[in-house]
């Protein structure tokens, strides 16, 4: 069998690869409900949808030409979006909702004028939150039909713009925001959002906090910075549930507009117009700069799981994360020249998928493949750690083109590798390249 490589959390970071999208609009929002199903949204009502991890995109009609500032999907069918309505009075936020994965959207105006929602989050189909400018932290308990302003303490930092909201569980949540060159703010709730309190002003940074990551009930990190006067990118952290905060300047020019953890140790933050990201391999304690592919300006990113990441930004920029090495190393099939194993279709798949393969004539096979001619062929499927989870007999070795249809209901949703082998077991002869399949 081919070489097995095992790369666990934090041993080697991957890289980002640029993928062309059918738009040049500025993209402001990205949401994936799993590793392959996602949406991006942006200027002029742009809404794109993918079901294969960003390899192909379908344009959806959002029903608006306004800038889509935020999107959130609870599952592949139920989603919400916020758009800035500057085109006609009353100015404010246009709220969108879909129940069929974005094929159709319903629209209504947020009832209060001159509020522009920047972020949206739903905990379930009924309970959700939005934050916005010049100051708004609002909740719904009826799926977005009605919204009410949350109760916030009356500290001097209470009523600033809200740029991000995260909940650790049903009771503990954090929001972040602020105003450039005035103050950054982080709010917290410990009673499910009935009451929010702003951080003590003595811990507040000078500029907005754009995004948060919650490690647990006590440990939180926020991303921001001050692009002026050389202060640059900054991270703010708490280890006591928000009672106190420490601010870390990274010594890099720019501003971190988002933060996303691939796993417990590897974390990325985009710097927008700096055409860079910063990377930490120790959970956000130390950071290094990384150039973005083609100098793209990236502002938002997301990791739906540890193997898939997606990033968006200006001029239709879209990046996909590529792990450095995961699971079993690719095999070129040198053991048996002439054998061929194709990519399964459909991929991703849920109930059934087809794997094409070809077996050569005896005269077209070189040793050691020739020694195994006429023996049973197997397709072996491996998990991401190189462990064989199933071996399926696929042919008695008869020459020609063949197809193998599999359902494998026992496989959990996720990513797998597969290859063709003569003989079942670790001593079998591998005679094909390795392919990736994704079960939904």
Q: Which domains does the chain have, with CATH numbers?
A: 15-322 (2.130.10.10), 340-439 (2.60.40.1930)
State the chain's mean pLDDT as an integer.
88
* pLDDT on residue 385: 65
pLDDT of residue 343: 85
Q: Answer yes or no: are the C-beta atoms of 277 and 271 closer than 8 Å.
A: yes
Cβ neighbors of 43 (< 8 A, separation 6 or more) are 25, 26, 27, 28, 67, 68
Residue 346: predicted pLDDT: 86
HEC secondary structure over 25-64: CCEEEEEECCCCCEEEEEHHHCEEEECCCCCCCEECCCCC
> Residue 411: pLDDT above 80?
yes
What is the pLDDT confidence band of residue 1, given thresholds at 50, 70 and 90? Answer: very low
Residue 49, pLDDT score: 98
Q: What is the pLDDT of residue 358?
A: 85
Could you tell me the pLDDT band of residue 324, with boundaries at 50, 70 and 90?
Answer: low
pLDDT surpasses 70 at 322: yes
pLDDT band at 388 (very low <50, low <70, confident <90, very high): confident
The whole-number pLDDT of residue 374 equals 56
Note the pLDDT of residue 230.
Answer: 65
Q: Report CA Rg, the chain.
A: 25
73 pLDDT higher than 80: yes
pLDDT at 437 over 50: yes
pLDDT of residue 313: 98
pLDDT, position 357:
86
Residue 108 β-bridge partners? 95
pLDDT band at 11 (very low <50, low <70, confident <90, very high): very low
pLDDT at residue 210 above 80?
yes
Give 340-367 pLDDT, tens digit per residue. Answer: 888 888 888 888 899 988 888 765 555 5
Confidence of residue 335 (pLDDT cuts 50, 70, 90): very low
Q: Answer yes or no: are the C-beta atoms of 400 and 310 closer than 8 Å.
A: no
Locate all alpha helices (DSSP H) within 203-246, ordered by sequence. Answer: none
pLDDT tens readout for residues 155-199: 999 999 999 999 999 999 999 999 988 999 999 999 999 999 999
What is the predicted pLDDT for the residue at 9?
34
Q: What is the pLDDT of residue 344?
A: 87
Q: How many CA atoms lie within 13 A of 316 on its CB side?
A: 14
The percentage of the chain sitting over the pLDDT mark of 90, rounded to a whole number, equals 62
Please measure the distance between the N-terminal and C-terminal CA atoms of the chain and give it in whole angstroms: 27
- The answer to which of 5-9, 15-19, 246-250, 410-414 has the lowest mean pLDDT is 5-9
Please tell me the predicted confidence (pLDDT) of residue 8: 32
CA distance 66 to 75: 24
Which has the higher per-residue pLDDT, 154 or 301? Answer: 301
Predicted confidence (pLDDT) at residue 434 exceeds the cutoff of 90: no
Average pLDDT of the segment spanning 136-159: 95
Please tell me the distance from the alpha carbon of residue 81 to that of residue 29, in angstroms, as a whole number: 9
Closest CA to 405 of 350, 351, 345, 355: 355
Which residue blocks in 64-141 are alpha helix, DSSP H?
none
Query: Which whole number is the average pLDDT over 47-56?
Result: 95
Q: Which residues are within 8 A (CB) of 285 and not within 5 positions of it... i.e. 6 or more apart?
A: none
Asked if 92 and 114 touch (Cβ cutoff 8 Å), the reply is yes
Is-contact 119 131, C-beta < 8 A?
yes
Report the pLDDT value the prediction gives residue 350, as an integer from 0 to 100: 84
Distance CA 134, CA 115 (A): 6
Per-residue pLDDT, averaged over 107-127, amounts to: 97
Confidence of residue 427 (pLDDT cuts 50, 70, 90): low
Q: Which of these ranges, 27-31, 280-284, 422-426, has the smallest mean pLDDT?
A: 422-426
CB contact at 8 A, 201 and 157: yes
Kindly tell me if the per-residue pLDDT of 200 is higher than 90.
yes
Predicted pLDDT at 113: 95
Q: Report the length, in residues, of the chain.
A: 440
Question: What global pTM score does this model have?
Answer: 0.74
């Amino acid at each position: 069998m081919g070489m097995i490589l095992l790369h666990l959390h934090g041993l080697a970071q991957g890289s980002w690869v640029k993928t062309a999208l059918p738009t040049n609009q500025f993209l402001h929002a990205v949401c994936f409900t799993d590793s392959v199903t996602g949406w991006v949204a942006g200027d002029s009502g742009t809404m794109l949808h993918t079901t294969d991890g960003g390899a192909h995109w379908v344009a959806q009609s959002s029903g608006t030409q306004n800038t889509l500032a935020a999107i959130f999907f609870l599952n592949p069918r139920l989603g919400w979006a916020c758009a800035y309505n500057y085109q006609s009075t009353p100015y404010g936020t246009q709220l969108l909702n879909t129940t069929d994965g974005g094929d159709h959207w319903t629209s209504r105006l947020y009832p209060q004028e001159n509020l522009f929602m920047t972020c949206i989050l739903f905990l379930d189909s009924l309970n959700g939150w939005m934050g916005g400018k010049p100051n708004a932290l609002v909740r719904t308990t009826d799926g977005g039909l009605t919204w009410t302003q949350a109760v916030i303490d009356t500290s001097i930092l209470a009523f600033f713009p809200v740029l991000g909201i995260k909940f650790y569980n049903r009771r503990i949540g954090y929001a972040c925001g602020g105003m450039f060159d005035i103050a950054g703010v982080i709010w917290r709730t410990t009673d499910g959002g009935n009451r929010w309190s702003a951080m003590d002003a003595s811990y507040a940074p000078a500029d907005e906090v754009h995004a948060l990551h919650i490690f647990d009930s006590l440990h939180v990190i926020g991303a921001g910075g001050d692009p002026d006067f050389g202060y640059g990118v900054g991270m703010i952290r708490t280890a006591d549930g928000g009672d106190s905060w420490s601010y870390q300047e990274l010594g890099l020019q720019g501003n971190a507009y988002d933060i996303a953890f691939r796993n417990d140790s590897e974390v990325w933050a985009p710097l927008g117009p700096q055409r860079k990201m910063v990377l930490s391999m120790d959970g956000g304690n130390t950071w290094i700069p990384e150039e973005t592919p083609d100098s793209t300006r990236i502002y938002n990113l997301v990791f739906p799981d540890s193997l898939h990441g997606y990033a968006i930004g200006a001029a239709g920029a879209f990046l996909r994360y590529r792990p450095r090495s995961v699971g079993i190393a690719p095999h070129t099939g040198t053991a048996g020249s002439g054998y061929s194993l194709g990519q399964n279709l459909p991929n991703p798949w849920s109930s059934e998928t087809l794997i094409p393969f070809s077996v050569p004539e005896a005269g077209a096979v070189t040793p050691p493949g020739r020694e195994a001619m006429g023996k049973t062929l197997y397709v072996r499927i491996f998990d991401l750690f190189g462990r064989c989870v199933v071996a399926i007999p696929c042919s008695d070795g008869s020459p020609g083109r063949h197809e193998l249809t599999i359902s494998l209901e026992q496989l959990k949703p996720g990513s797998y590798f597969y290859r063709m082998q003569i003989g079942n077991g670790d001593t079998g002869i591998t005679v094909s390249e390795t392919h990736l399949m994704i079960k939904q």
